[in-house]
Amino acid sequence: MSEITYKYIRDYLMAIEPDDDIIIRTIRKDALNNNVPIIKSEVKNLLKWILATKKPSKVLEIGTAVAYSSIIMSDFIDTDGCITTIERSEDMIKKAKENIKKAGKEDVITLLEGDASDILSSIDDTFDVIFMDAAKGQYLTFLPECLRLLKKGGILICDNVLQNGTVAKSRFSVPRRQRTIHNRMREFLWELNHNKNFQTSILPIADGVTLSYKKY
């Protein structure tokens, strides 16, 4: 798998990071051992910084997996804040519930079970921060709902937008089976960059992250 940043720089930055607490380290180790995709170290630190400075009351996460990122974020929200997270995989839901309970975050993190395409349209609330880390081919589909659910002045964060750098290449340079996701991610990035409601920055860290500030 290719890297979009130099590996030796990533290794150095990871080496000088302060240690996570034992629960986060355990969840991360278990996820990596079982090939469960979780946020990379750079994204973890970016989320911490954004939430520490913004202190959001309400966070929406699209794509819970094993609740690694939602548990990390829960330590940086407002004192009375909460996180709503969506997951459709039954295996991930089971493990996420175990991890949320292990972390003592059951009163802070609410897990909604089902397909985000169905759940998002049923949510009647607004959020200070939305973190999207779900099926990459669905980012474009979810974008209108994210815009609806995000408060003015809120931040939309999307992970894995550069697809190991292949999104910057011609569609003919990627395997045929990956071309649909390739096309949809390029469409998503174009729309996000040109949407008048957002001020967007694309960061070439980890596997690419977008930060979008809702202006209107």
At 172-191, the pLDDT tens digits run 778 777 788 889 999 999 99
Q: What pLDDT sits at residue 105?
A: 98
At 113-172, the pLDDT tens digits run 999 999 999 999 999 999 999 999 999 999 999 999 999 999 999 999 998 888 888 877
Q: What pLDDT sits at residue 1?
A: 43
Question: Quick check: 40 pLDDT over 50?
Answer: yes
At residue 3 the predicted structure's pLDDT band, cuts being 50, 70 and 90, is low
Lowest average pLDDT, out of 6-20, 32-46, 80-94, 171-185, goes to: 171-185
Distance CA 78, CA 67 (A): 19
At 58-83, the pLDDT tens digits run 999 999 999 999 999 999 999 999 99
Q: What pLDDT sits at residue 78?
A: 97
Give the global pTM: 0.94
At 88-109, the pLDDT tens digits run 999 999 999 999 999 999 999 9
- CA dist 139 to 48, 73, 149, 187, Å? 22, 21, 15, 10
Question: What is the per-residue burial (b if ≥16 Cβ within 10 Å, else e) of 156-170?
Answer: bbbbbbbbeebbeee
Mean pLDDT of the chain: 94
| Strand ranges across the sheet with 127-132 | 109-113, 82-87, 58-62, 127-132, 150-159, 209-214, 198-203
